[in-house]
């Protein structure tokens, strides 16, 4: 009899244990969540975008004339200015480029035959004019002899005054004709030289490599060479850019911000520059362009952008490693407060047309409607619905509902 009672008690105990285990497994456990405490503190709203540095005043040196520009950067020992990117230049002293005259162009067969014929015609014209000079010289010699004879006869009254004056006139007239004929010879020789020059072979017409034959292009301002636009030797037209010169310590930052952000930015607004490879740099806005422009984003979206210019407020030692056209990230302040009630943006979610959060009420989630003001990528300003010290659920999932049990994840 006692043995039966013992078996019954053991069986009942097993049933109770199994039932308790099933109840324990079936009992809803609290959902593990990340919690954050609502607190007062500083908050800042910024307009963030890519930017780049640039030298404030860049001088582009251009070719003053059409001609052949010699190679600007080359190994030592060759003729030329030997200029490289980063070299220091002095205004109106440093030679940044040397230019030579261009070589004559090639002549086709038809033009060459025509020019050769014109040269032969010029030679014949020279011979003709030289013969005319000889004729006038012979006539002048005759009239000079006649004039001398008239002078002798005039002393003995053997010739009339009219005959004497005529002999004198013939001498003066032929002297003038001789001078004109000689000038014609020189003119025809010059024409012949011009025609012969047009027949010159470009291979035999290369200009001298001496510096005196070249035009020296000087640096317009002191600074450093930022870019050599035309490095190789080539023939250029007037106004062709050759070299960019600027002062690397005279830097500013430009960023093309969305027009919706730019309208909230004021001149003098503080800015922060980072993601350039060093510590964040402080700056301030010095100019917001009054006109925008269309820019297509990397995703192919057309956006209206406005250029914003920022000056550094930190000393040059903080950004001395930056150079011209370096990429940076700018954060321009559009609003800030030193003592605002804030909550992480990751705790907010939409319910209808309102914002809400889940708060921790003695281990249970409670949905609370809130009104928010300014916000940035991390924090949001709370106008109503929460108080300092409240704890809110971060990143609420679909497992979180009003009244459900919750527990901090770090308390596991």
How many angstroms from the chain centroid is the CA of residue 135? Answer: 73
Name the pLDDT band for 254 (thresholds 50, 70, 90).
very high
Q: For residues 227 and 243, is the Cβ–Cβ distance under 8 A?
A: yes
pLDDT at residue number 83: 84
Query: Cβ distance 213 to 79 under 8 Å?
Result: no
Number of helices (H) and strands (E), helices first, in the chain?
5, 21
Tell me the pLDDT tens digit for each residue of 159-169: 777 777 788 88
pLDDT band at 156 (very low <50, low <70, confident <90, very high): confident
The mean pLDDT value for 345-371 works out to 91
Segments making up each domain of the chain, as ranges:
31-41+339-411, 45-55+249-337, 62-98+218-246, 109-204
User: Tokens in use for 182?
Assistant: 């000689």
Q: pLDDT of 95-139, one tens digit each?
A: 898 888 877 777 778 888 888 898 899 889 899 989 988 998 888
- pLDDT tens track for 311-357: 999 999 999 899 999 999 999 999 999 999 999 999 999 998 899 99
Residue spans of beta strands (DSSP E) within 12-165: 31-37, 39-55, 59-62, 67-69, 88-89, 95-100
Average of per-residue pLDDT across 273-288: 94
User: Given pLDDT bands bounded at 50, 70 and 90, which one contains residue 280?
Assistant: very high
Top-confidence residue, 370 or 204: 370
* Residue partners of 396: CB distance under 8 A and separation at least 6: 33, 347, 349, 357, 358, 365
Phi and psi dihedrals of 303, rounded to 5?
-130, 145
The vertex-106 CA angle with 101 and 110, nearest 5°, equals 145
Average pLDDT over residues 24-33: 69
Q: Which of 295-300's residues contact partners 24+ apart within 8 Å by CB, and which partners?
A: 295/256
Which pLDDT value is given to residue 76?
45
**How far apart are the C-alpha atoms of 5 and 1, rounded to whole Å?**
7
Look at residue 21 and tell me whether its pLDDT is greater than 80: no
- Tell whether domain 31-41+339-411 is in CATH 3.30.230.10: no
Residue pair 357/35 in contact by the 8 Å Cβ criterion: no
| Burial (CB count <10 Å: 0-12, 13-18, 19+), residue 307 | middle
Please state the rounded mean pLDDT for residues 220-247. 91
Q: Report how far apart, in Å, the C-alpha atoms of 309 and of each of 56, 191, 254, 280 are.
A: 10, 62, 5, 17
Cα–Cα distances (Å) from 347 to 38, 306, 366, 381, 399, in that order, read 10, 33, 13, 12, 15
Q: Which residue has the tokens 């003001």?
A: 373
Query: What's residue 210's pLDDT?
Result: 47
Q: Which residues pair with 306 in a beta bridge?
A: 257, 292
3-state SS class at 99: strand
Classify 45-55+249-337 by CATH class.
mainly beta
Share of the chain above pLDDT 90, in %: 45
Q: What is the pLDDT of residue 308?
A: 96
Q: Is the dihedral of CA 244, 225, 324, 233 positive or negative?
A: positive
According to DSSP, residue 405 is labeled: B
pLDDT, one tens digit per residue, over 172-204 is: 888 898 899 899 989 989 988 888 887 776 655
List the single range of 43-47, 75-79, 298-302 with lowest mean pLDDT.
Answer: 75-79
- Name the pLDDT band for 212 (thresholds 50, 70, 90): very low
The per-residue pLDDT for 209 is 43
Given this model, what pLDDT does residue 283 score?
95
Q: What is the mean pLDDT of the chain?
A: 85
Query: pLDDT at position 77, please?
Result: 43
pLDDT at position 74 is: 62
What pLDDT does residue 314 have?
93
What CATH topology corresponds to 62-98+218-246? Answer: OB fold (Dihydrolipoamide Acetyltransferase, E2P) (2.40.50)
Range in 9-18, 136-145, 399-408 the model is least confident about: 9-18
Q: How confident is the model at residue 2 (pLDDT cuts 50, 70, 90)?
A: low
| Per-residue pLDDT, 146 | 83
Residue 223 burial by Cβ neighbours in a 10 Å radius (0-12, 13-18, 19+): buried
Residues 59-85 pLDDT 10s: 999 999 888 888 887 654 455 567 888
């Amino acid at each position: 009899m006692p043995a039966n009672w013992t078996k019954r008690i053991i069986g009942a105990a097993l049933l109770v244990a199994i039932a308790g285990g099933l109840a324990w497994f079936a009992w809803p456990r609290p959902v593990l969540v990340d919690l954050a405490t609502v607190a007062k503190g500083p908050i800042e709203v910024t307009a963030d975008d890519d930017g780049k540095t640039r030298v404030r005043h860049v001088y582009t040196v251009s070719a003053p004339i059409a001609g052949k520009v010699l190679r600007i950067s080359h190994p030592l020992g060759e003729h030329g200015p030997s200029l490289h990117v980063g070299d220091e230049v002095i205004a109106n002293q440093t030679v940044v480029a040397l230019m030579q005259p261009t070589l004559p162009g090639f002549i086709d067969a038809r033009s060459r035959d025509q020019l050769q014929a014109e040269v032969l015609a010029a030679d014949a014209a020279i011979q003709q004019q030289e013969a005319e000079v000889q004729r006038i010289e012979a006539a002048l010699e005759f009239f000079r002899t006649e004039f001398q004879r008239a002078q002798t006869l005039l002393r003995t009254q053997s010739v009339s005054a009219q005959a004497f004056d005529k002999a004198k006139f013939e001498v003066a007239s032929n002297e003038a004709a001789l001078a004109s004929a000689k000038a014609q010879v020189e003119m025809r020789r010059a024409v012949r030289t011009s025609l012969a020059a047009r027949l010159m072979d470009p291979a035999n017409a290369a200009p001298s490599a001496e510096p005196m034959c070249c035009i020296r292009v000087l640096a317009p301002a002191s600074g450093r060479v930022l870019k050599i636009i035309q490095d190789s030797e080539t023939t250029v037209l007037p106004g062709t850019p050759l070299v960019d010169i600027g002062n690397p310590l005279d830097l500013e930052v430009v960023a093309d911000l969305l027009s919706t952000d730019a309208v909230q930015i004021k001149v003098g607004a503080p800015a922060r520059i980072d993601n350039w490879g060093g510590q964040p740099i402080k700056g301030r806005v010095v100019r917001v362009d009054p006109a925008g422009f269309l820019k297509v984003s990397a995703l192919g979206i057309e956006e209206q952008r406005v250029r914003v210019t920022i000056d550094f407020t930190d000393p040059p030692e903080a950004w001395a490693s930056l150079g011209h056209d370096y990429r940076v990230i700018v954060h321009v302040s559009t609003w800030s407060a030193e003592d605002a009630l804030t909550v992480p943006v990751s705790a907010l979610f939409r319910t209808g047309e309102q914002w809400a959060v889940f708060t921790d009420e003695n281990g249970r989630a409670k949905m609370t409607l809130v009104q928010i003001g300014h916000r940035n990528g991390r924090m949001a300003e709370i106008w109503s619905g929460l108080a300092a010290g409240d704890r809110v659920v971060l990143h609420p999932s679909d497992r979180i509902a009003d009244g459900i049990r919750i527990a901090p994840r770090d308390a596991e």
